[in-house]
C-alpha cells in the first residue's frame, strides 16, 4: 500500500480510486478480506527476551566481575560478613538495572493505548459502530466532536471540523480540517485534509477514507522510530566502565608481579605470599564504591522528588550535571498551552492585555498606561461579542482555571472579565435566538441575541480578512461610527500576525426585534467593524527566569517545535533564547545534509514546523558535536527524541504516556523551572560522587601500598588483610555515605557544564592519590615502628596502625568535603549532621574492635593506652594540615595563572 505520508497531495477522488472504495463504503466481505491482508489496526508488539536472561544480563559488567572476585577473595579469607555485603551490592545493582530495563517497550505500550477503541464506519451502505482494530484501508469513517480519530484518514467531507494535533505537531491550537489537497512537501501540521490516528476532534463533523492502519499510521511510524532509536549510556556509566577496566587490569598486574617477585626473588613461602597478594587485591578494590555511588544517586532522587522531579533511572541524575544544551518543546513546556488575548486594537488604540493564562484578571494598557474601562465603552462592545458569540466555558478548580471547549473562545471569556463584562450576566441578559456555527467555508461564527428591552443584535467573530470585507462601517470612538478604513484594518491585522499571534476580528449590527433566524450574513448589510484581537500561547513566567539561570550556568536552550516559525520566534524572544532570530524549519532541514546540519545546529536557536524525525535528527546532530543533550517534551511526537537524548524529560501533568515512558525524568508540575533545579541537583550529585572517589581511591591506594612496601622490604605487615577488610567495610558504609549528603556549593550554577568526555581519573586526582597515599603510608609505618621500638607486641603495633589509618581517613573526609575551598572555617568544620554521625559510628566501631574481647580474638587487636590515642590524633592532624596547605598553595597558583 502507498505510504500514508503522500495521501494529502491527492484529491479525495484519487485516494478512493486507488483504495478501490467509494463514499458508500466497503462491503462486509471486502473489509474481512482486507483485514486478512493488512492485519488489525493496532501496533505490533516486539519479541521480548526471557525475563530471567534479562536479569542475569545485568551481571555482565567488568566492575561486577571485580566485585564477585572480591567476594571470592573474602570467602577464602573466611570473612563471610564482607562476602555477604559484597554479594548484596552486586544483587542490588542487578535488581535496579532489571527494574529500569524495557523503557522502549513501555513507550510503545503507551502509544498502543492511544488508539481509539471504537469507530463509526459506513459498510454495505449502512452506518455501523465497529472495533477500531477491524478498520482497514478503504473504510469510510465518520468523526465528530469528542471522537478520537481511529486511523489515518483522508477527509472528503468536513463541517466546521477542527482537530487537536498537539501530540503530533506541538501546535497548541486545534487545526481546521477540509477536503482540499495540499502540496506534497508540506509539513505534518499543514496537511489539512488528513486526520491522524490518536488525535482528537474538538469541534464539527467529518468523513474520511482510511489510508493507514496500525504500523502504517503516523503514530505507528513514530512507534517504529522509538523501537529503532539507540539509547546512549550516561557519562557516569561510561566513565565507570572505563575506570573499572583499568582498575581491574592494574590490580591484577600488581598482585601478579608481587607474587612472582616475592616467590622467585625474595624466596617467600608461596602460601603466605599468595595470601599477602590476596590482601593487596582486597585493599586495592573499592568494594564499597558501587554501593556508595548508588546511595549518592538515591539521595539525589529524594531531593529531586521534593522539587517535583521524578527520576525513573538513577544514573540520569548525574547526567543532568553535564548537560550543556536543553532542547525544549514549546507547547506546554515553555508555554502554558493556554491561549490568551495578548493584544487588542479598537479604533486607533493598540491595547496590551495582561494576565496569567485563563485566569480572568489582568490589566489592559495603552502605551504602558492602564486603560479606564468606563472611559472606553468600545472595549465593552468587543467584550460583549466575545461572550455571546462563544460556546466555551471557563472552569475553576482549587484556584486553577481550565477550559471547556475551544481554547480561543476560553481566552475571550477571560478577556471579557478583564474588561468587566461578566459572562453569566451577559448571557442571561442577551438570550441566544439562533446561531450560525463556524465553518471553514465562510470562516466566521455569528449569533442572534435578544435582550429584555426588545433589542436584537447579530454578533460576529471570524477571520479578519473576511469580516473586513463584509463590513461597511467601523466603530471609531464612544459613539462615532464612520465608513470603514479597509486598508487600515488590513495593516493592523498584518501587524498583529507579524508578532506571531493569531488574529480574530469582531463585528455587530442591530436587527429587528422580530427576527428569529440567521440564514446567511449579507455583506451589503450595515455591519459595524469593532476591532481585532491577537491570541498567543504565552510563555511561562517561571520559564523565562529558568532560561536565564541556564545561560548563567553555561547551558544553551533551544526550542524545537511543530508550531509555525513566526509564532516560535515571538515566544523565543519573550523567553530570552539565544540566537532566537535564527530559525530553521522542517522543510529547510530536509534540504540540509548531516554534515552541514552538524555545523549550523549550534548557532540556531529555534527549529519550527518539525516532525518526530527532525527532532531526533537534531538531538543526534548536537550529540555529534560532543554536546550532552537534554530533551523535554510532552507529545507522542517527542518520544523518539526523548529516548535518544542523554536525558529525556517529560511533562507529568500534560504529557502523553508515550513521552513519559521514553524519558528518564518526569516533571510532576510541568514546570520548565524544575529542570534548572534538577540540573543543580545533578551537578551536586556529580560533585559528591567525585568527592567519594577522591576520598576512596587514596585510602585504598594507601592500604595496598602499605602491604606492598612491607613485602618488598621484608617487613612484618603493619596491618593484616582481615583488618583492612574491616576498615573498608566500616568506613565505606559510614564515611563514604556521609559524602552523599553534602549540600550544594554556592558556585555550582555559576560554572560551565563539565565536558562529556571528562575522565574520572585525571591529573589532579592522580596527584592527590600519590600525595595522600604517601602521607598515609608514612603515618602508618611511623606509628608501627614507634610501637615496635617501644617493645610493644606486634598485635598492639598493628592495632595502633589500624586505628591510625582510620583516623587518617576521618581527617581526609573533613578535607574532601571542601576540596576547592578553605577547610578551616567554622562553617566547614561544623559540616553536616550526617558527617558527625558517621564519624561517631566509626568511633564506636573502633572502640568495639579494639576493646571487646571477642573482636580482639577475631582481629588480633589489643587495648590501646590513651596517650597512644593522642599520638594517633596528632598524626591525623599533621596529615590534614599538610594536604590543606598543599591545596591552598595549588589554588592560589592556579588563580595567578588565570
Q: List residues with catalytic annotation.
A: 329
Q: At what angle do helices 103-112 and 218-228 cross, to 10 degrees?
A: 170
Q: For 496, list phi and psi in degrees, rounded to 5.
A: -65, -40
C-alpha grid cell for residue 190?
499543514
Express the helix, strand and coil content of the chain in percent, nearest 5 each. 55, 15, 30
Distance CA 495, CA 532 (A): 11
Task: Please give the sequence-ordered ranges of beta strands (E in DSSP) within 384-524, or none if there are none.
Answer: 393-397, 400-404, 431-436, 444-450, 456-462, 473-475, 481-483, 502-511
Q: Are strands 456-462 and 340-346 parallel, antiparallel or unpaired?
A: unpaired
C-alpha grid cell for residue 652?
507529568
Alpha helix positions (H), 207-344: 218-228, 235-264, 270-284, 289-305, 315-320
Distance CA 395, CA 393 (A): 6
Q: Which residues contact 276 (CB under 8 A, 6 or more apart)?
A: 258, 262, 268, 707, 711, 717, 721
**Beta-ladder partners of 210:** 153
Sign of CA dihedral 466, 467, 468, 469: positive
Q: Which residues contact 807 (CB under 8 A, 6 or more apart)?
A: 872, 873, 875, 876
C-alpha grid cell for residue 180?
482540499
**Cβ neighbour number for residue 660 with a 10 Å cutoff:** 23
Distance CA 197, CA 212 (A): 9
Q: At what angle do helices 672-712 and 235-264 cross, to 10 degrees?
A: 0
Q: Are strands 556-560 and 606-608 parallel, antiparallel or unpaired?
A: parallel
Alpha helix positions (H), 306-336: 315-320
Q: Which residues of 423-435 are buried (b: 16+ CB within 10 A; e: fewer)?
A: beebeeebeebee
Long-range Cβ contact pairs of 236-243 (< 8 A, separation 24 or more): 236/315, 236/318, 236/319, 236/686, 236/689, 237/315, 239/758, 239/759, 239/760, 240/63, 240/293, 240/760, 241/61, 241/62, 241/63, 242/759, 242/760, 243/760, 243/761
Q: Which residues contact 599 (CB under 8 A, 6 or more apart)?
A: none
CA distances for 425 relative to 406, 417, 597, angstroms: 21, 11, 57
Alpha helix positions (H), 790-832: 794-816, 826-830
Q: Is 434 helix (H, G, I), strand (E, B) or coil?
A: strand
CA distances for 740 relative to 220, 299, 580, 581, 754, angstroms: 43, 7, 39, 43, 20
Distance CA 812, CA 791 (A): 30
Give me the half-sphere count of Cα atoms (radius 13 Å) on the Cβ side of residue 250: 11
Sign of CA dihedral 341, 345, 346, 349: positive
> How would you class 414 by CB atoms within 10 Å of its CB: exposed for 0-12, middle for 13-18, buried for 19 or more?
buried
C-alpha grid cell for residue 831?
559540616
Stated as kind and residue range, the H or E segment containing 617 is helix 612-624
Contact (Cβ atoms closer than 8 angstroms) between residue 12 and residue 186: no
Amino acid at each position: 500500500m502507498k505510504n500514508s505520508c503522500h495521501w494529502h497531495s491527492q484529491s479525495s477522488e484519487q485516494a478512493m480510486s486507488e483504495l478501490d472504495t467509494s463514499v458508500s463504503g466497503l462491503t462486509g466481505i471486502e473489509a474481512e478480506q482486507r483485514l486478512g491482508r493488512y492485519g488489525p489496526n493496532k501496533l505490533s508488539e516486539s519479541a521480548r527476551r526471557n525475563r530471567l536472561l534479562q536479569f542475569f544480563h545485568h551481571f555482565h559488567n567488568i566492575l561486577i566481575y571485580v566485585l564477585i572476585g572480591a567476594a571470592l577473595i573474602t570467602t577464602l579469607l573466611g570473612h563471610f560478613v564482607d562476602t555477604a555485603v559484597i554479594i548484596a551490592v552486586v544483587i542490588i545493582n542487578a535488581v535496579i538495572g532489571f527494574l529500569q530495563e524495557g523503557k522502549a517497550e513501555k513507550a510503545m505500550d503507551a502509544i498502543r493505548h492511544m488508539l481509539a477503541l471504537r469507530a463509526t464506519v459506513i459498510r454495505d451502505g449502512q452506518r455501523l459502530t465497529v472495533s477500531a482494530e477491524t478498520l482497514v484501508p478503504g473504510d469510510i469513517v465518520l468523526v465528530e466532536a469528542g471522537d478520537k480519530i481511529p486511523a489515518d484518514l483522508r477527509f472528503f467531507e468536513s463541517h466546521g471540523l477542527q482537530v487537536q494535533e498537539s501530540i503530533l505537531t506541538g501546535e497548541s491550537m486545534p487545526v481546521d480540517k477540509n477536503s482540499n489537497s495540499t502540496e506534497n512537501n508540506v509539513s505534518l501540521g499543514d496537511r489539512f485534509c488528513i486526520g491522524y490516528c490518536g488525535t482528537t476532534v474538538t469541534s464539527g463533523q467529518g468523513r474520511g477514507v482510511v489510508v493507514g492502519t496500525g504500523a502504517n499510521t503516523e503514530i505507528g511510524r513514530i512507534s517504529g522510530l522509538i523501537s529503532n532509536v539507540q539509547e546512549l549510556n550516561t557519562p557516569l556509566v561510561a566513565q565507570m566502565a572505563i575506570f573499572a577496566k583499568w582498575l581491574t587490569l592494574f590490580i591484577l598486574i600488581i598482585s601478579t608481579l608481587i607474587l612472582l617477585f616475592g616467590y622467585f626473588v625474595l624466596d617467600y613461602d608461596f602460601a603466605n605470599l599468595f595470601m599477602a597478594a590476596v590482601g593487596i587485591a582486597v585493599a586495592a578494590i573499592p568494594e564499597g564504591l558501587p554501593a556508595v555511588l548508588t546511595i549518592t544517586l538515591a539521595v539525589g532522587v529524594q531531593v529531586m522528588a521534593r522539587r517535583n522531579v521524578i527520576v525513573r533511572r538513577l544514573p540520569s541524575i548525574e547526567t543532568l550535571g553535564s548537560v550543556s544544551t536543553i532542547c525544549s518543546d514549546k507547547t506546554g513546556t515553555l508555554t502554558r498551552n493556554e491561549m490568551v488575548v495578548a493584544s487588542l486594537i479598537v479604533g486607533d488604540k493598540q491595547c496590551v492585555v495582561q494576565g496569567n493564562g485563563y485566569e480572568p484578571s489582568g490589566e489592559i494598557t495603552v502605551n504602558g498606561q492602564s486603560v479606564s474601562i468606563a472611559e472606553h465603552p468600545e472595549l465593552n462592545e468587543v467584550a460583549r461579542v466575545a461572550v455571546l458569540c462563544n460556546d466555551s466555558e471557563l472552569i475553576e478548580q482549587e484556584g486553577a482555571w481550565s477550559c471547556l471547549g475551544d481554547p480561543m473562545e476560553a481566552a475571550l471569556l477571560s478577556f471579557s472579565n478583564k474588561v468587566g463584562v461578566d459572562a453569566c450576566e451577559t448571557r442571561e441578559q442577551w438570550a441566544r435566538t439562533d446561531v450560525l456555527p463556524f465553518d471553514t467555508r465562510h470562516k466566521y461564527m455569528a449569533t442572534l441575541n435578544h435582550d429584555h428591552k426588545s433589542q436584537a443584535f447579530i454578533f460576529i467573530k471570524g477571520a479578519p480578512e473576511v469580516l473586513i470585507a463584509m463590513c461597511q462601517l467601523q466603530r471609531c470612538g464612544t459613539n462615532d461610527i464612520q465608513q470603514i478604513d479597509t486598508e487600515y484594518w488590513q495593516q493592523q491585522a498584518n501587524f498583529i500576525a507579524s508578532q506571531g499571534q493569531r488574529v480574530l476580528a469582531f463585528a455587530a449590527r442591530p436587527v429587528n426585534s422580530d427576527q428569529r433566524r440567521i440564514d446567511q450574513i449579507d455583506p451589503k448589510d450595515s455591519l459595524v467593524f469593532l476591532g481585532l484581537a491577537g491570541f498567543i500561547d504565552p510563555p511561562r513566567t517561571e520559564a523565562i527566569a529558568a532560561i536565564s539561570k541556564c545561560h548563567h550556568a553555561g547551558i544553551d536552550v533551544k526550542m524545537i517545535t511543530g508550531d509555525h516559525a513566526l509564532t516560535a520566534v515571538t515566544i523565543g524572544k519573550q523567553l530570552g533564547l539565544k540566537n532566537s532570530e535564527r530559525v530553521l524549519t522542517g522543510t529547510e532541514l530536509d534540504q540540509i545534509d548531516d554534515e552541514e546540519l552538524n555545523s549550523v545546529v549550534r548557532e540556531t536557536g529555534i527549529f519550527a514546523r518539525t516532525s518526530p524525525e527532525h527532532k531526533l535528527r537534531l538531538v543526534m546532530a548536537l550529540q555529534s558535536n560532543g554536546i550532552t543533550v537534554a530533551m523535554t517534551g510532552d507529545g507522542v511526537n517527542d518520544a523518539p527524541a526523548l529516548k535518544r537524548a542523554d536525558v529525556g524529560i517529560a511533562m507529568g501533568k500534560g504529557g502523553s504516556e508515550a513521552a513519559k515512558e521514553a524519558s528518564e525524568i518526569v516533571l510532576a508540575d510541568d514546570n520548565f523551572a524544575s529542570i534548572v533545579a534538577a540540573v543543580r541537583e545533578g551537578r551536586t550529585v556529580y560533585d559528591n560522587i567525585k568527592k567519594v572517589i577522591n576520598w576512596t581511591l587514596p585510602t585504598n591506594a594507601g592500604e595496598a601500598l602499605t602491604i606492598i612496601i612491607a613485602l618488598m622490604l621484608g617487613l612484618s605487615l603493619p596491618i593484616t588483610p582481615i583488618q583492612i577488610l574491616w576498615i573498608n567495610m566500616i568506613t565505606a558504609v559510614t564515611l563514604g555515605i556521609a559524602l552523599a549528603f553534602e549540600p550544594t556549593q554556592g558556585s555550582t550554577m555559576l560554572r560551565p557544564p563539565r565536558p562529556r568526555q571528562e575522565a574520572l581519573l585525571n591529573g589532579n586526582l592522580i596527584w592527590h592519590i600519590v600525595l595522600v597515599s604517601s602521607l598515609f603510608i608514612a603515618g602508618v609505618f611511623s606509628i608501627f615502628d614507634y610501637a615496635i621500638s617501644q617493645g610493644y607486641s606486634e598485635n598492639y603495633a598493628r592495632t595502633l596502625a589500624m586505628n591510625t589509618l582510620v583516623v587518617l581517613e576521618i581527617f581526609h573526609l573533613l578535607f574532601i568535603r571542601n576540596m576547592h575551598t578553605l577547610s578551616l572555617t567554622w562553617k566547614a568544620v561544623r559540616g553536616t549532621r550526617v558527617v558527625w554521625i558517621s564519624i561517631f559510628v566509626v568511633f564506636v566501631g573502633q572502640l568495639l574492635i579494639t576493646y571487646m574481647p571477642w573482636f580482639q580474638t577475631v582481629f588480633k587487636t589489643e587495648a590501646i593506652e590513651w596517650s597512644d590515642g593522642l599520638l594517633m590524633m596528632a598524626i591525623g592532624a599533621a596529615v590534614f594540615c599538610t594536604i590543606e596547605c598543599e591545596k591552598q598553595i595549588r589554588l592560589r597558583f592556579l588563580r595567578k595563572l588565570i
